Amino acid sequence: MPETRIRSDLHGVIWKIEVAVGDRVAQGDTLILIESMKMEIPVSAPCAGVVSGIFVKEEQQVAEGEILAMITV
């Protein structure tokens, strides 16, 4: 089963995690909100599938390029 890793586009702090492992998501669904420069930047699902991994916690700092979650198609 192909897995898609979702990376952070920017430096920031994990503000909210909107999904849990096992959730089915559609393309474009918001998975995580990153707070950066006082804005809530949504990280959306690049494809439909099942959330098979979340590798960050709320309030955690993340760097650009860091893997946040994984979706299994």
Partner 1 sequence: MVWQPELDELRERERLARAMGGPEKVKRQHDGGRLTVRERIDRLLDEASFHEIGAIAGSAEYDGSGALCGFTPSNTVFGRGTIEGRPVVVVGDDFTVRGGSADATIHEKTVMAEQMANEFRLPVIRIIEGSGGGGSVKTIETKGRANLPGGVGGTDAFYYCTANLAVVPVVSLGLGSVAGLGAARLAASHYSVMTRSSAVFVAGPPVVARVGQVLGKQELGGWEIQTRCGAVDDAVDTEDEAFAAARRFLSYLPTSVQSLPPLTASDDDPVRRDDNLMSAVPRDRRKVYKTRPIVETLVDHGSFFEIGRNFGRSVITGLARLEGRPIAMLASDPYHYGGSWTADACNKLTRFVDLAQTFHLPVVYLMDCPGFMIGLEAEKAATIRHGVRAMAAVNQCNVPWCTIIMRNSFGVAGAVHQPAGRLSLRYAWPSAYWGSLPLEGGIEAAYRAEIDAAADPAAKLREIEHRLNRLRSPFRTAETFWVEEIIDPRDTRRLLCEFSRLAQPLLTPGSSSFPMRP
Binding site for partner 1 (CB under 8 A): 9-11, 36-42
| Helix, coil or strand: residue 19 | coil
CB of 62: closest distance to partner 1 in angstroms? 12
In sequence order, what are the residues at sequence separation of 6 or more whose Cβ sits closer than 8 angstroms to the Cβ of residue 57?
A: 14, 17
The total of other beta-carbon atoms located within 10 Å of residue 68's CB is 21
CB of 33: closest distance to partner 1 in angstroms? 9
DSSP state of 46: S
3 vs 9, beta carbon nearer partner 1? 9
38 vs 57, beta carbon nearer partner 1? 38
21 vs 28, beta carbon nearer partner 1? 28
